[in-house]
Amino acid sequence: MPPDSIDPLQALQAANRAVRPAAASATGTLLIAGATGALGQELLRRLAGSHRYAHARVLAREPIRDGLRGVETYLSPDLPISQWPLTSADTAVIAFDSPRLYHDRERALWVPQPADLPELSRWLRASGVRTLAIVQPHDQGRLPEALKRGLASLDEQAVVANGFDRVILVRSARKPLNAKFANPAERLAAWMLSIVRLMVPSSEQPVRASKVAELVDVSLRIAPPGVHVAAPEMVWEASQGQQMQAVAERWLGLAEKDITATLP
């Protein structure tokens, strides 16, 4: 069965069947908003299965009945986010990936929209979250250079202003979403744009969801305090070969600090 067709419940069950050698050292609570699609599934599988956290929760619209041993659900009320009761968490991940409607349990999960980001981040901070990772896919070749390594919107600036200890923004390239065309002219224009996309540098090509999740996992482990923005090119570089941690350390400025510490 292809990885993208695995049911989220199966991923949770596999994680829970694993032996927990480090369970005694697990601390804190992880909360995932947007555990849907290939990306959300990989984040859930990798982070909930790492057993670094004493508790893992996913935001859901309705109860998920079974298979969640060790992973809890937080039911989001049918209310504006500002009126949600507070929960308790130390680390949160927000992923924007549409649910695959042929997965029944993905329909039960709560799916954040980009417009939810300011209010959701305020709610997370009020719930005690100090480390926030946001995974925001962008159509390949469509993100302006000026925004790749900085805050791309007022919404992202509002997130940072909430006072998190660490904010990690991962900008991952994705394939353009399928579009419906109203007339032949629109179809022709889309075809011409698709030719231009073929000229997108390899460093801006989409990265497998499993590699993006691995980068988020590494970043949550080693990122120092502050705001860290991963450009699509950096995400692509980190996904190549077996040197992800080394690339992440260079991106996060850790390699430079290590070198400086060794100088006389």
> Are 55 and 63 within 8 A, CB to CB?
no
On the question of pLDDT at 255 being above 80, the answer is no
3 lies in some domain: no
Q: How many other C-beta atoms lie within 10 A of the C-beta of residue 70?
A: 17
59-63, 221-225, 246-250: range with lowest mean pLDDT? 59-63
Domain that holds residue 200: 26-261
Mean residue pLDDT of the chain comes to 78
pLDDT (mean) for 66-94:
87
In a domain, 10, yes or no: no
Least confident of 21-30, 54-63, 89-98, 191-200: 191-200
Per-residue pLDDT, 151: 65
Higher pLDDT, 6 or 29: 29
The residue type at 192: M
In a domain, 15, yes or no: no
The mean per-residue pLDDT over the stretch 65-84 comes to 81
pLDDT value at residue 146? 44
List beta partners, residue 134: 94, 169
Q: Token digits for 200?
A: 């997108």
pLDDT at 141: 44
User: What mean pLDDT comes out for the span 115-140?
Assistant: 90
**Confidence at residue 52, expressed as pLDDT on a 0 to 100 scale:** 87
The pLDDT of residue 17: 47
Residue 109, phi then psi, degrees to nearest 5: -85, 150
Across 50-57, average pLDDT: 87
Measure the CA angle with vertex 215, ends 178 and 261; round to 5°: 145
Task: Tell me the average pLDDT across 66-70.
Answer: 56
150 neighbors 113 (Cβ within 8 angstroms): no
pLDDT for 71: 81
DSSP state of 109: B
3-state secondary structure of 207: coil
Q: Answer yes or no: is 245 within a domain.
A: yes
Is 118 within 8 Å of 77 (Cβ atoms)? no
> Residue 196 pLDDT > 90, yes or no?
no
Structure tokens at 203: 């460093």
**Residue 230 confidence (pLDDT) above 60:** yes
In the predicted model, is pLDDT for residue 13 greater than 60? no
Tell the residue number behind the tokens 């709560």, with chain if given.
110
Domain count, the chain: 1
Q: What is the pLDDT of residue 137?
A: 77
**Residue 49 included in any domain:** yes
- Cα–Cα distance measured from residue 181 to residue 186, given in angstroms and rounded to the nearest whole number: 6
Residue 93 is assigned to a structural domain of this protein: yes
Residue 137 maps to which CATH number? 3.40.50.720
CB-CB neighbours of 155 under 10 Å: 15
Over residues 156-167, the pLDDT tens digits come to 899 999 999 999
Lowest-confidence segment of 9-18, 32-41, 214-223 by average pLDDT: 9-18
- Averaged over 28-41, what is the pLDDT? 92
In angstroms, how far is CA 214 from the centroid of its own chain? 10
pLDDT at 120 over 70: yes
Task: Answer whether residue 121 shows pLDDT above 60.
Answer: yes
Q: Is the pLDDT of residue 91 over 50?
A: yes
User: Helix 37-49 and helix 8-17: axis angle, to 10°?
Assistant: 10
Mean pLDDT is lowest, of 129-133, 219-223, 233-237, 256-260, for: 256-260
Q: Residue 175: inside a domain, yes or no? A: yes
> Does residue 132 form part of some domain?
yes
Examine the pLDDT at 15 and tell me if it is beyond 80: no
